[in-house]
Amino acid sequence: MIANTPLIPVLTTIDTVRSVVRERRGTVALVPTMGALHGGHLALVEQALNHADTVVVSIFVNPLQFGAGEDLDTYPQKLEADRDALAPLQSRLDATDPVTARIVVFAPPVAEMYPDGQEITRVTAPAVGALFEGASRPGHFDGMLTVVAKLLAIATPHVVVFGQKDAQQVFLVERMIRDLNIPVRVLTHPTVRDDNGLAKSSRNQNLSEGERRSALALHTALSAAASESLNGPPAMRAAGHNALEQDSLVRLDYLEIVNPQDFLPVADDHRGPALVIVAARVGATRLIDNEPVVVGAPY
């Protein structure tokens, strides 16, 4: 069914998404999100609009990618605010009629996506999916890949757009698309940050004022590690850890230098492209961030 809204049509069933996509002429982009949209998501939608005629923004808090004791129940859900956030992009395009609207939201209830509950066929991430985020959140990537595979099968987009902030997610989605021969092009967008450097994240909404200040430690640690890039991975790791130890509200999960080719930790003598990745808990909120660097070159 199509809920009629002033600017942003909200589709709640798989059948309506399929028929909208079928009836439209031109290309389709998918921007998968879990809602609580912020400037980072809007940048993905803008990028999608530059590459396709119709942009399907999925808003679905996917229970499959949350483990026991994680923040599924407190994950911010704000469909009305999300529509308001997207509306200026739609009206700028001068396409305010649901029939011609270039941006449509797909916000299915859980039962629409998982009518048989969680006893379903799943995508299994390769071994690298058990490291970093996968080590802290067992099963997270299988759940994430499963829902992304379903969304791709539902919207059949030409392009799908992801934020680089979730670097391991992007790596695994690209692997899945290659391994399963899914005919879609992946576009990524650099991490969007607040003026002070804090990476935009839906989970930032759960931070208190003080925690928000402490959360800056992640960006500070990435910059500290990156600024040692001439000196190699051991110096980079040490600088990053040192920066994070300065704030007692921040509990480090991991800080590592990985090779973007395989997402595995680089050797101490590595030189060339790398990604500094970090995850830490600030109060009850778990945050991640990363920074691309070239080891052996000045930052």
Enumerate binding residues for ligand PAF (CB under 6 A): 32-34, 62, 65, 144, 147-148, 166, 169
| Shortest Å, Cβ 231 to ligand PAF | 33
CA–CA separation, 68 vs 283, rounded Å? 18
Give the Cβ contact number of residue 178 at 10 Å.
Answer: 10
CA 225/CA 229 separation, integer angstroms: 7
Residue nearest to ligand PAF (CB): 32
Least distance in Å: CB of 165 to ligand PAF?
9
Q: Which is nearer to ligand PAF, 62 or 191 (CB)?
A: 62
CA distance linking residue 90 with residue 49, whole number of Å: 10
Is the Cβ of residue 66 or residue 266 nearer to ligand PAF in the bound state?
66
Of 16 and 62, CB closest to ligand PAF: 62
Instruction: Kindly list the distances between the CA atom of residue 160 and the CA atoms of 41, 93, 97, in Å, as whole numbers in the listed order.
Output: 13, 20, 24
Query: Taking the complex as a whole, how short is the minimal distance between the CB of residue 90 and ligand PAF, in angstroms?
Result: 20
Question: Among residues 38, 41, 51, 219, which one is catalytic?
Answer: 41
* Residues 125, 130, 134, 139, CA torsion sign: positive
> Measured from the CB of residue 252, what is the shortest distance to ligand PAF in angstroms?
22
Q: Is 41 a catalytic residue?
A: yes
Which residue, 51, 43, 39, is CA-closest to 186?
Answer: 51
Task: Return the H-helix or E-strand segment holding 16.
Answer: helix 14-23
Catalytic residues, by residue number, are 41
